[in-house]
Amino acid sequence: MGNVIRSIGILRLGALGDICLTVPLVRLLQKHLPQTEIYWIISRPLYSLVEGLSNVKFIVIDKPKTIADYWGCYLQFKSYYFDALLVPQATLRSNILCALTRAKVKYGYGKLHSRDLQRWFVNKTVTAKPEHLVESFLRFAEPFGIFDKEIDWRLPVEESDREWAKSQLASFPGKWVAICPGASKVERNWLSERYAAVVNQLKKQWDFNVVLIGGTSSLEKKMAQEISDQLDAPSLNLVGKSSLKRLTALLNEVDVLLSPDTGPLHIAQAMGTPVVGLYAVAPPEKTGPYFSQRWVVNKYPLAVKTILKKDPAKVSWHERVHSSNAMKLIEVSEVVSKLDELFSELFSKSG
């Protein structure tokens, strides 16, 4: 590209975890191109997570579903023209929105990550490798001569949200473990009784409190109640009771998060909170907690072998184990072992 880059648009609508993983790309562009205006096309429900991100101009849209919706997006985009549009999201919806956006150059994924005919809608591609999603997102800075891989994840949090989080945890003094039992996809959920068993076993060795977190779905609330009912000690149930900003502040305050592959896991990493991740449906090397890979319970290879009847070493980077039996491969003892090891590093055993 030319030396003068006045504006860059980023088209990444969702989901929650992916929005979180896009922030380091934004920060990297800002660091190396301080005079360039950065725009982010984002879906309305997830905008609240990154609202207040410094020096970013957001174009907030409702996810289009009908021709009329897409026409509305076209009208909304008409007043913008970017020197470059980055599209680190290969879905049919984002590809159509890419076509409706005016830009001198449009960057999408290369062959490995491109889907839903994305390469028909862009005129330049970036070459991502079999790597973590956050690293593949950072590849979109390379066309501008930026090969720095610094992960600057700072999420904007208001002081009022921090105070709310602190007030919630003030009910029980001491260390806190957050549990996010419900994933955005049901196949990634572990079993309620196993979460409870893990906590009950570890409470005999470590002195910590439990806060349950999650969204507003009936399944998430049901799982949280099931876990709470089976715990030997009281817990704090905040499932469905916090905004994304408050959830971010809460995950900054707790000591550890126990979670399957879902959005709050990445928020915790962004806030510097260690995570014990539970993985069997997707490879954690791609979607796992970036700074907490050593704490992951990884049954993905076993799930590929026993459920898909395939060789884990030969499957596609995009292979998923779409089975309700995958997460059942994760045993209570394995999670207890990972948490016990992590606790040993974080704080001393209670006397």
Task: Give domain status of residue 176, yes or no.
Answer: yes
Based on the fold, state whether residues 244 and 327 are members of the same structural domain. yes
Task: Give domain status of residue 1, yes or no.
Answer: no
3-state helix, strand, coil in the chain (%, to 5): 40, 15, 40
Q: What is the mean pLDDT of residues 77-90?
A: 96
**Which of residues 115, 144, 173 is at a domain's end?**
144
pLDDT, tens digit (0-9, with 9 covering 90-100), for 183-239? 999 999 999 999 999 999 999 899 999 999 999 999 999 999 999 999 999 999 999
pLDDT reading at 351 higher than 60: no
Based on the fold, state whether residues 318 and 204 are members of the same structural domain. yes
In the beta sheet, which residues pair with residue 58?
40
Task: Give domain status of residue 2, yes or no.
Answer: no
Q: Which residue has the tokens 């997102």?
A: 137
Find how far residue 327's CA is from the centre of its chain: 19
Based on the fold, state whether residues 118 and 173 are members of the same structural domain. no
Based on the fold, state whether residues 109 and 184 are members of the same structural domain. no
Based on the fold, state whether residues 94 and 70 are members of the same structural domain. yes
The model's pTM: 0.94
Based on the fold, state whether residues 106 and 198 are members of the same structural domain. no
Based on the fold, state whether residues 132 and 214 are members of the same structural domain. no
Task: Give domain status of residue 95, yes or no.
Answer: yes
pLDDT reading at 115 higher than 80: no
Which of 1-5, 193-197, 327-331 shows the lowest mean pLDDT across its residues? Answer: 1-5
Based on the fold, state whether residues 112 and 185 are members of the same structural domain. no
pLDDT, tens digit (0-9, with 9 covering 90-100), for 250-279? 999 999 999 999 999 999 999 999 999 999
Based on the fold, state whether residues 135 and 164 are members of the same structural domain. no
Return the CATH number at 169: 3.40.50.2000
Based on the fold, state whether residues 122 and 251 are members of the same structural domain. no
Task: Give domain status of residue 183, yes or no.
Answer: yes
Name the residue range of residue 120's domain: 7-144
Task: Give domain status of residue 202, yes or no.
Answer: yes
Task: Give domain status of residue 152, yes or no.
Answer: no
What pLDDT, on the 0 to 100 scale, is given for residue 3? Answer: 67
How many structural domains comprise the chain? Answer: 2
**Which of residues 97, 118, 144 is at a domain's end?**
144
Based on the fold, state whether residues 121 and 175 are members of the same structural domain. no
What pLDDT, on the 0 to 100 scale, is given for residue 350? Answer: 45
In sign, the C-alpha dihedral spanning 127, 131, 133, 139 is: negative
Task: Give domain status of residue 19, yes or no.
Answer: yes
Q: Residue 112 corresponds to which tokens in the numbers above? A: 């490995």
Alpha-carbon distance of 98 to 76, in angstroms, equals 13
Based on the fold, state whether residues 167 and 260 are members of the same structural domain. yes
**Which of residues 87, 117, 144 is at a domain's end?**
144
